[in-house]
Structure 1
Amino acid sequence: MTHEAPWRTPLELTLLGAIWGGSFLFMRVAAADFGPFPLVEARLGLGALVLLPLLWAARAQFTPALWLRIAGIAAINSVIPFALFAWGAERAPAGIGAITNAMTVMFTALVAFLFFGERIGPRRLIGLVGGFVGVAILASGKTAGESVWPAALAGTAASLCYGFGLNFVRRYLTGYPSGAVAAANLVSGTVMLAPLAIYNWPHHPIGAASWASALLLGVLCTGVAFVFYYRLIARVGAPRTSTVTYLIPLFGVIWAWLILGEPLTLTMALAGALILAGVALSQSRARR
Structure 2
Amino acid sequence: MRTQDLGELLMLAALWGASFLFMRIAVPAFGPIALVAVRLGIASVFLVGILIFTGKLRKLGDHPGKLAIVGVLNTALPFVLLSYATLSMTAGFTSILNATTPLWGALIAFVWVKERLTLAQVLGLLIGFVGVITLVWGKVSFSGNGTGPAIVAALLATCSYGVAASYTRKYLSGIDPLVIATGSQLAGFILLTPLAALYLPQHSIGLSSWLSVLVLGIACTGVAYILFFRLVSRIGPSKTITVTFLIPVFGMLWGYLFLQEAVSAQMLAGAAVILAGTLLSTGLIKPSWCNKPS
TM-score range, shorter chain: over 0.9
Amino acid at match of 1:258: L
Query: Partners of 1:79 and 1:281 in 2: how far apart?
Result: 29
Query: Partners of 1:259 and 1:98 in 2: how far apart?
Result: 15
SS state at 1:91 partner = coil
Aligned residues: 282
SS state at 1:174 partner = coil
- TM-superposition CA deviations, 1:82-130 (whole Å, max 9, x none): 0000000101111121001111111111111011111122111111111
For residues 286 and 274 of structure 1, do their structure 2 counterparts lie closer, same or farther at Cα, with a shift above 3 Å needed?
closer
Shift of 1:250: 0.7
The runs of at least 4 consecutive aligned structure 1 residues that moved more than 6 Å come to: none
Any residues of structure 2 matched to 1:255-270 within 5 Å, and which?
255-270=254-269
Query: Partners of 2:7 and 2:23 in 1: how far apart?
Result: 25
Shift of 1:286: 7.6
SS state at 1:284 partner = coil
TM-score (norm: length of structure 1): 0.92
Matched, 1:30 2:26: yes
- TM-superposition CA deviations, 1:53-95 (whole Å, max 9, x none): 344432333446x101110121111111000000001011111
Partner of 1:280: 279
Partner of 1:243: 242
Query: Partners of 1:141 and 1:40 in 2: how far apart?
Result: 30
- Is the Cα contact below 8 Å between 1:74 and 1:185 reproduced in 2? yes
- Is the Cα contact below 8 Å between 2:60 and 2:179 reproduced in 1? no
- Is the Cα contact below 8 Å between 1:55 and 1:184 reproduced in 2? no
Query: Partners of 1:203 and 1:61 in 2: how far apart?
Result: 38
Shift of 1:255: 0.4
- Is the Cα contact below 8 Å between 1:140 and 1:147 reproduced in 2? no
Any residues of structure 2 matched to 1:211-226 within 5 Å, and which?
211-226=210-225
Query: Partners of 1:245 and 1:40 in 2: how far apart?
Result: 21
SS state at 1:90 partner = coil
SS state at 2:187 partner = helix
For residues 141 and 257 of structure 1, do their structure 2 counterparts lie closer, same or farther at Cα, with a shift above 3 Å needed?
farther
Shift of 1:198: 1.0
Query: Partners of 1:105 and 1:114 in 2: how far apart?
Result: 14
- Is the Cα contact below 8 Å between 1:240 and 1:287 reproduced in 2? no
For residues 172 and 206 of structure 1, do their structure 2 counterparts lie closer, same or farther at Cα, with a shift above 3 Å needed?
same
Any residues of structure 2 matched to 1:1-288 within 5 Å, and which?
6-56=2-52, 57-63=55-61, 66-142=63-139, 147-285=146-284
Shift of 1:201: 0.6
- TM-superposition CA deviations, 1:239-285 (whole Å, max 9, x none): 11111010001100110011100001122111111111111112335
Structure 2 unmatched ranges of 5 or more: 288-294
- Is the Cα contact below 8 Å between 2:130 and 2:273 reproduced in 1? yes
SS state at 2:261 partner = coil
More displaced stretch, 148-157 vs 86-95? 148-157
Percent identity reads 38
- Is the Cα contact below 8 Å between 1:54 and 1:183 reproduced in 2? no
Query: Partners of 2:126 and 2:146 in 1: how far apart?
Result: 23
Structure 1 unmatched ranges of 5 or more: none
Shift of 1:7: 1.3
Amino acid at match of 1:60: R
Query: Partners of 2:169 and 2:234 in 1: how far apart?
Result: 18
Shift of 1:6: 2.9
- TM-superposition CA deviations, 1:144-179 (whole Å, max 9, x none): xx7433322211111100000011112211222211
For residues 101 and 192 of structure 1, do their structure 2 counterparts lie closer, same or farther at Cα, with a shift above 3 Å needed?
same
- Is the Cα contact below 8 Å between 2:70 and 2:184 reproduced in 1? yes
CA RMSD in angstroms comes to 2.0
- Is the Cα contact below 8 Å between 2:72 and 2:188 reproduced in 1? yes
Partner of 2:292: none
TM-score (norm: length of structure 2): 0.91
